[in-house]
Structure formats: C-alpha cells, structure tokens
Structure 1
Amino acid sequence: MSEVIDPTQVAQPLLALNGVHTHIGEYHILQGVDLQVPRGGLSVLLGRNGAGKTTTLRTIMGLWKASQGSILFDGNNIAAQATPMIAQAGIAYVPESMAIFSDLTVKENLHLAARNGTMDTQRLEWIFAFFPALKKFWNYPAGNLSGGQKQMVAIARAMIEPRKLLLVDEPTKGLAPAIIQSLMDAFQELKATDTTILLVEQNFNFVKNLGDTVAVMDDGRVVHTGSMRELADDEDLQQQLLGLSLASHQ
C-alpha cells in the first residue's frame, strides 16, 4: 500500500531566503540567513535585540540589498529588485517606525497605499471594523493621532489592498491592550484570507496563539525553526534559544 502524502508538506514556501548576507556599510549584519515562510498562515521571527530580525525584513523588501544569496518570492528571485517592484509583486511592509505621512490625513495616507489609486469601499469598511478610530479621524492629519492610532494607520495602509505577503515589525510595541486585541483580530482575519504574514514581535502573548511557525535568529543567522506550539510548550527550548522564558517576555 502506497503512502498518502499530505500536499501541505510538499508545497513550495511563498518566501525562501537561501544563504542571504547583508552588509550595511562596514557591518556584516546578516551572515547566511536561511528562512522559509510557508504559504498561508503567520510566521514569527524571534531573537534578541540586534540579532538581525529588522534587517531581514528590510532586505526582503529591498530597502537594504543582499550582498549574497537568493530571496525567492513566489518562485522568483527578488534579491536584486528595487523596492517598488517588490511591492508591486504583492509584498507590503509595516516598519517599527510606522512610516506614515504625518502632514496628510488618514484618508490620504490610505489612498496613497492603494496601488491603483482607488480604495475598495467594502474592504475599507472591513478595516474600519477592526480600527473604528480611523473612521472617526478620517479627515484628521495622521500626525495628530496617538501612537496607537498611528499604528492602526500603518497596519491599515498595508491592508488596504489584498497582498500576498505582509511583513510587520514590532506592531504592538508601546500599545494599549485594547489596541493590541484589535491588531490580533485583524491578523486572525488576514490569516483566513490568502495573505501570508511574517511578523517580528517581542510580545509573546500576542504571537503564541497567532503564530503557526517560528524562526529564531541569533548573530545574523537563523538558529532554530519549527512550530510555534512546540516552542510555546517547551520552556527549556525557550531558555536555550532566547535566554529566557517566552511567557515572561511581554
């Protein structure tokens, strides 16, 4: 009797970094990163400060160029492509700094993020369901909003159109619990669509139930990959990889 093969086990990852090195000036930050992001679901990138997590996201997005290695997105090597081309391929990036236009209104910020210049009304109402403050402050300058509200704008900019891959760097940093819950709900909804998410996050309570897979970085390399549930259930492994229990890392 032949073995039944689960097709999800042989599917090609949406994103694959193979031997990626990144130099920033004289500094050698990424030192041979190998990382696979399965198609669909949410992958979490963990590691101590300075491990290379943000550099990995920025290198994927083309903001910093890989000096060696390949970055395969949907089967195509995007390592040498310009950032606008990478965005057009279906990748959106939400940096830790949020990178919104402070002098523009919330409406104008989202309008600029729509690649075809128009916003789908139904999708906009879907976003408002998670972030009602955006509807309330629709015509306010984004720079006048609170830190949490600015983060909502940054996330909404990435959600305004369907994306194949969403890169998000530290979305809950400094946010109130109610806003964190709204973000969690939004990511759960995105997981149910065709959007794949790669998330850098330090708040373990936020990612432990959201994450499907996890990769841990140290000194510019990926030193562990596996399921989020496996890491969440193994405090010894948490101590080994991160030097602390993730349950206390909030």
Structure 2
Amino acid sequence: MTADLVRLEGVHTHIGQYHILQGVDLVVPEGELTVLLGRNGAGKTTCLRTIMGLWQPSAGRLTWRGREIGGWATPDIARLGIAYVPESMGIFADLTVAENMVLAARAGRPDPRRLDWIFGFFPALRKFWDFPAGVLSGGQKQMLSIARAVIEPRDLILVDEPTKGIAPAIIEAMIGAFRELKRGGTTILLVEQNFRFAASLGDGVAVMDDGRIVHAGRMADLAADAALQTRLLGLSLDQHQ
C-alpha cells in the first residue's frame, strides 16, 4: 500500500474577496507522480500555492504525512523537503546560472555529483553556467527553474505547467528528469495543460473544475477513455496535439 504524503480534506482558500478553492479533497501518494488537470481558472495553481503556504487555507485540513501543516509559513514547509517550481519560473535574472543554483542549495554549495546528474538532462545549464540567467531562452529558464528545485534531494516537488511554450526537445529532457526523480523516490505533483506529456508521466490524476476536485483516479484509465477526457476536460488526448 502506498502511503499518503499530502492530503487535502475540504480545503478552502480565499484570495481577497475571491473564493478560489471550494472544498478540495486531494490525496498525493508517496513515490508517485500525480497530475492535476483542469481548465484555466479551475484553481490548480491556487492548490499548489496553498500546499506551499504561499496562500493560507481558510478552512479544511492540509496534512503532510498525517501532520497538520495548514497555516504554516512557506519556509517551514520548504524545510520539510518540499520544493515549488512556479509557472513564472522564479529565477533571478540578474544572477548567473551558478548563483541561482547556489542560492537554491540549502547547504550553500551544490553537490558536484548532483550537478553532473542535472547537466545530463539539461546540458545547456553547464554551457551557460557563468552567464546571467536573464539571457537564457524561455526553455533554458524553465530548465534552470526545475534544476533549482532538485539541486538537493526533495521529498515532494510541486511543478506548475513546466511545458508551457517549451520546445519538444526540452520537453523530452523534462520527461527523462521526472522519471529519474520518481525512480529515486521523489513524489511529484504536476499541474499541466499538455495532456500527452501528463499521460506519459502520471501515475495518478485529479481533475479540478470551479475550485473542486471532480475526478480522481489512475492516469492510465483516463488516458484510455476518450469519452471521459472529453467530459472532464472538453478535449480528448487524441484530439490534443
């Protein structure tokens, strides 16, 4: 039996006057890659940011290995071994690639073996190691954002739409990196609009609509059911290029 790493039970999140999450029930099993799908504005990013403590839940229960963490500050949540890759990438454009990576390493200096492992998936980071991160292409910035999150082993990585606007070759490198992370025991919660990418990686899947989880199950089952895809997402995987 796979243990639950993160569990949301009836979680509500308000941002100002807006009620974004409206009773989310979500389980993220340890050691798996769970994909969070849904139309734009469904609440997927808010769900990640609530887990990370960037936005606070207004009701419900949020637990990490059975321990309540709802309302914790983001640095305390990060110290549990959780990293977040935002859609905005969150890199420091005026700092070099090397400086970005050093800042992400809690020990203050990246492990050379870990760096070599990262360079194996994202060789451009080695090439531009001493360049300001702001000169990187969009795909290279996304590489850096993911690399910063995994510069040290993490128990959970929250990733928000990593393939948005990214070239196919870089997407293939991401697939390899995420698969290797899973093999190493890292749990991943991935928000993604590229359904083919999601289906190639996902163990489990949850679909959000209007601030709630409207479907949860195995990704293989959703990938095999075009009618269910169309009902939940408005477009089947076979139609989506």
Q: Which category describes the TM-score, using the shorter chain as reference length?
A: over 0.9
Q: Alpha-carbon deviation of 1:75? A: 2.0
Residue of structure 2 equivalent to 1:124: 115
3-state SS of paired residue (2:59): strand
Alignment RMSD: 0.8
Tell me by how many angstroms 1:157 deviates.
0.2
2:134 aligns to what? 143
Q: State the 4+ residue runs in structure 1 displaced beyond 2 angstroms.
A: 246-250
Q: How does 1:61-100 map to 2 (within 5 A)?
A: 61-100=52-91
Shift of 1:248: 2.5
Report the TM-score, using the length of structure 1 for normalisation: 0.95
1:8-157 alignment runs, 5 A limit: 8=1, 11-157=2-148
Q: Which residue of 2 aligns with 1:169?
A: 160
Query: Retained in 2: the 8 A contact 1:204–1:247?
Result: no
Separation in 2, partners of 1:60, 1:92: 11
What letter matches 1:149 in structure 2?
Q
Aligned residue among 214, 222, 241 for 2:213: 222
Aligned to 1:5: none
Structure 2 spans left out of the alignment, 5+ residues: none
In the alignment, the residues of structure 2 paired with residue 84 and residue 52 of structure 1 have an alpha-carbon distance, to the nearest angstrom, of 23
CA offset at residue 242 of structure 1? 1.2
State the SS of the aligned residue for 1:208. helix
Q: Per-residue deviation at 1:70?
A: 1.3
Give, in angstroms, the shift of residue 170 of structure 1. 0.3
Per-residue deviation, residues 132-178 of structure 1 (Å, max 9, x unmatched): 00000000000011000000000000010000000000000000110
What are the Cα deviations for residues 100-152 of structure 1, in whole angstroms up to 9, with x where unaligned?
A: 00000000001000112121110110000000000000000000110000000
Distance, in Å, in 1 between the alignment partners of 2:13 and 2:190 is 19
Amino acid at match of 1:70: R
Residue 246 of structure 1 and its aligned partner are, at CA, apart by 2.5
TM-score computed with the length of structure 2 as normaliser: 0.98
Aligned-partner SS, 2:200: coil
- Report the residue type matching 1:180 in the other structure: I
* Residues 21-55 of structure 1: CA deviation (Å, up to 9, x unaligned): 00000000000000001110200000011000000
Residues 167-207 of structure 1: CA distance to partner in whole angstroms, max 9, x if unpaired? 00000000011000000100010010121000000111111
**1:62·1:79 contact (CA, 8 Å) conserved in 2?**
yes
Give the distance between the partners of 1:167 and 1:150, measured in 2 at CA: 17
- Structure 2 distance, partners of 1:247, 1:152, is 28
How high is the sequence identity, in percent, across the aligned residues? 68
d(CA) in 2 for partners of 1:151, 1:98 = 6
- How many residues get paired? 241
SS of 1:246's partner is: coil
- Structure 1 residues not aligned, in runs of 5+: 1-7
Q: Which moved more, 1:111-120 or 1:227-236?
A: 111-120
